[in-house]
């Protein structure tokens, strides 16, 4: 896997060009929304399935973040980040921290919807913004 960086007209990764978002990001978003819907349908009946789906979504997102982290620093330091990149990165960080918070509160037995919904909404917006950046 090689990383290509072109200053000026920014080029993301050669491998997948959108840092694996179709391969990792889309399944993570789908899993997270499935987890959210199942939890809304019946908290008692689908708690385990909710946890598995949401945990897999967090795992896929973690792999995606680790894959793009070295390039993010390069983009920010090279001045190649535009408004879309900054919003994408900012919402991605907020969503990831919310996802970790939801995971930690969930495994500790605390029932709260705010971190999980925050993660789902942020990741969905980040995916859409990333896709718009890619096709534009």
User: Rounded to an integer, what distance in angstroms lies between the CA atom of residue 56 and that of residue 103?
Assistant: 11
In a domain, 30, yes or no: yes
Which structural domain, as residue segments, surrounds residue 110? Answer: 24-135
pLDDT digits (tens, 9 = 90+) for 53-70: 999 999 999 988 888 777
In a domain, 8, yes or no: no
- Kindly state the tokens that stand for 114: 């705010």
In a domain, 69, yes or no: yes
In a domain, 6, yes or no: no
Q: Give phi and psi for 17, each to the nearest 5.
A: 55, -30
Residue 47 burial (10 A CB sphere; 0-12, 13-18, 19+): middle
In a domain, 80, yes or no: yes
User: Is 0.75 topped by the overall pTM?
Assistant: yes
CA within 13 Å, CB half, 128: 7
In a domain, 1, yes or no: no
Number of domains in the chain: 1
Average pLDDT over the chain reads 81
């Amino acid at each position: 896997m090689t990383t290509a960086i072109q200053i000026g007209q920014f080029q993301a990764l050669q491998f997948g060009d959108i840092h694996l978002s179709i391969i990792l990001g889309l399944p993570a978003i789908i899993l997270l929304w499935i987890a959210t819907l199942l939890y809304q349908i019946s908290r008692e009946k689908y708690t385990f399935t909710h946890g598995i789906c949401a945990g897999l979504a967090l795992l896929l997102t973690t792999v995606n973040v680790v894959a793009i982290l070295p390039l993010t620093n390069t983009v920010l330091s090279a001045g190649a980040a535009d408004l879309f990149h900054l919003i994408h990165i900012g919402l991605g960080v907020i969503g990831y921290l919310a996802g970790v918070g939801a995971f930690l509160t969930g495994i500790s037995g605390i029932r709260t919807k705010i971190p999980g919904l925050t993660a789902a909404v942020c990741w969905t917006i980040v995916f859409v913004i990333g896709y718009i950046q890619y096709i534009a």
